A and B are shown apart, each in its own frame.
Chain A
Amino acid sequence: MILKGKVWKFGVNIDTDAIIPARYLNTSDPEELAKHIMEDADKDFPSKVKPGDIIVADANFGCGSSREHAPIAIKAAGMQGVIAKSFARIFYRNSFNIGLPIFESEDASDKISEGDEIEIDADNGIIRNLTRGEEYRAKPIPPFMQELITAGGLIEWTKKRIKAS
């Protein structure tokens, strides 16, 4: 899988209230949620973001609440994935469960700037900065998470298990 897109940069400890404020959680409709994506971190973000864009953040992205609405909103806004130095664990889990590609890379987080065009070779964990002609490594995706991705997310994986039992 190759993901190619323009980067939006965010800082450290971007919490799920910033990704999708709780005041909008009286619905779980992905399209509705996408209208308010990252609104409390940057109020103009929902109008600026374009399908195919990629978020690059610092450490502990997605900290705070367990709301799956956060990765759902990112995905529904058409974004292809998130790169960060590290992810809060529930956000990490949720992203794989719903099929939002995420990558851990200190190097990429430090060296990529807002507006850079990047290309992520997901299978090999390589991030290419097309604007700067640089290349960074992402941490390998653990085998079980690979299995989830291959299955098409946790529900598809569960379906197979139910069928097999």
Chain B
Amino acid sequence: MTITEKILAAHAGKKEVSVGELINAKLDIILANDITAPISITEFNKTGADHVFDKDKIALIPDHFAPQKDIKAAEQCKMLREFSREHDLSLYYEVGRMGVEHALLPEQGIVLPGDLVIGADSHTCTYGALGAFSTGVGSTDVASAMATGECWFKVPESMKFIYYGKLNKWVSGKDLILHTIGDIGVDGALYRAMEIEGETISTLPISGRLTMCNMAIEAGGKNGIIVPDDITEEYVKSRAKREYTFYTSDSDAEYVDVKEYDCSKITPTVACPHLPSNTKPAAELSSVTIDQVVVGSCTNGRIEDIREAAQVIRGNKVNPNSRLIVIPATQQIYLDAVKEGLAEIFVNAGAVFSTPTCGPCLGGHMGILAKGERAIATTNRNFVGRMGHPESEVYLSNPAVAAASAVKGRIATPEEVI
């Protein structure tokens, strides 16, 4: 069996499962945010359940339109707060303690290797980087799960992605996953598990692995997953407050397709409007002028990402025709960035250094684009209207390319400014 099949089988109380089988499985963590939880709460109240299945396994995180951007958003955040109080939820994160959900939960050791996790947010697939099975669902799925602690799954086919060769300078997990989506398309892994491995992955830090699994959904994947190893152990051992399990894939596990990538041939990669699969080397896009740069999100808002952007920005200024918005994904990352002097580098360069929020990634707040404006962002989607006006444009990149573009006022590679 694959790691995905083993985790699903273990949580369904079965010795084995097979592709296509429908199972009901027990969940370790369920999450929702200020956009999706209000529907979950309303639907939960219709189930007739008078209490949640486990007050320590439900994470409610106001991060999308929080800190509350307007009255309606405040009402939605209030629903999460009141429900959490009513049911005594231990994993409710108030503004000032919250972070972008998929950065926060791994950082706090809430999601762990071997877990089965669902979240009413499509980027819930992020935690596969730790060797968990995690996938995005809708609000009603979460409502039902909050009552029963279970969820139905169809066991997915697995697809294997093997990465080998040495990474080029300024190439990170973001470039590998953008390159992959560019190759297979936005439905190239539809309904499937994307199992990521290879010699390049075995030395890739957890931050890069989280970025790769985070964007599995951008290829239509049900989950992204990486078999845990020493790097995983090093990351989780000081964070975990409960036991966890390392699952591996058997040598005779079945895959519907295997893709191999020579990473020495991959250069910093940018996804052009309006699909994450519309990829080109950053070096070919130097004529594209940029109004706004965003560094942050569940994809690339971790401390390693902030450091990478700061390294490029240090000693430079944000271009007079551009604006740079840097959003550390959690309070801890924010604090680390301040302590390391990174916040100062950004502010001195003429950039915004913001409190954690999903904000501009989904066109919510904290940096919306006007008609005709163009952004480059370390986020995950560049659909029509994603960051604001339907006639604005979003390009996706890694933090170093985004920072270099802020300096030049056009899409640029880090070598051009360092």
Contacts and interface: CB of A to CB of B under 8 A. Distances in A.
In the A-B complex, the 6 residue pairs with the smallest Cβ-Cβ separation, listed nearest first, are A94-B138, A26-B72, A22-B362, A68-B138, A60-B187, A66-B122
Contact of B187 (A13, A28, A93): A13
Given A18-B385, A63-B187, A163-B48, A97 B141 contact: yes
B69 interface: yes
A161 interface: yes
B211 interface: no
B46 A17 contact: no
Contacts of B191: 89
Contact of A18 (B72, B144, B384): B384
Interface string A59-75: 11001111111001000
Interface residues of B, number: 54
A154 B152 CA distance: 10
A22 B143 CA distance: 21
Interface in B149-169: 152, 154
B73 interface: yes
B148 A90 contact: no
A154 B141 contact: yes
Given A13-B275, A15-B383, A17-B381, A59 B362 contact: no
Contacts of B138: 66-68, 90, 93-94, 97-98
Given A40-B385, A68-B139, A89-B220, A26 B47 contact: no
Contacts of A161: 148
A124 interface: no
B147 interface: yes
Interface string B288-320: 000000000000000000000000000000000
A52 interface: no
Interface residues of A, number: 44
A159 interface: yes
B363 A22 contact: yes
Nearest to B275: A13
Given A28-B38, A93-B138, A64 B122 contact: yes
A67 B139 CA distance: 8
Contacts of A27: 72, 76
A132 interface: no
A88 to B, nearest CB: 6
Contacts of A67: 35-36, 138
B195 interface: no
Contact of B140 (A21, A40, A41, A153): A153
Contacts of A109: none
Interface string A40-51: 110100000000
A13 B35 CA distance: 23
B384 A93 contact: no
13 contacts: A17-B384, A25-B64, A28-B38, A39-B390, A65-B122, A68-B140, A89-B190, A90-B137, A93-B138, A98-B140, A154-B143, A158-B147, A162-B147
B355 to A, nearest CB: 18
Contact of B47 (A13, A43, A155): A155
B53 to A, nearest CB: 10
Given A65-B121, A66-B120, A72-B39, 16 more contacts: A13-B275, A15-B384, A17-B381, A17-B385, A21-B363, A25-B65, A25-B364, A64-B381, A65-B362, A68-B139, A69-B35, A88-B190, A98-B138, A154-B140, A155-B143, A162-B49
Nearest to A89: B191
A86 B187 contact: yes
